[in-house]
Structure 1
């Protein structure tokens, strides 16, 4: 699977300051982010190339030395900087819930 160039460029720019305490972790994190960004609706196995890369992704994500907040910090910093360049920023949260229980819709499969 070829990683889309725009996804790779976005990750390189957005996570330029990523520091997980080890350059190997930083590289692995960016590689995973590129995979996930190039196929945002795919599962982890679907985004990875083969079983060994899938196992490596799960191993990375399960590493107790990696905190998700440290992973997200560069993205939060870049987002804050982008928002600071605009006069108004809307932060909209959608709390819509859909409940289809009890409805039998042919062809839609189980709900």
Structure 2
């Protein structure tokens, strides 16, 4: 099964966190994920998601930028994860911590096993 990850394009710590979590997931399970930033056009997102079996949106905060961008396409996410709702505080341009990346990675991996 292939999962498409659509991540926030923000520059805050939670926005950067979504990118780092996607990169970590792709390292851990090569070929299992395709990944794209929400800053791409809706048409590009549709094309790049291609034949993925499921779409997982990872937003950094409750602004939900990735979700809003995906809504402009004909795609509907199977799962939606918001880093801030996992207890990760948005701190402007603060640094991302490894434990925060791991928390988001675990949330995504949990979605793979529980429909």
TM-score by length of 2: 0.29
Asked which structure has the greater RCO (Cα within 8 Å, sep 6+), the reply is 2
**Larger fraction in strand:** 2
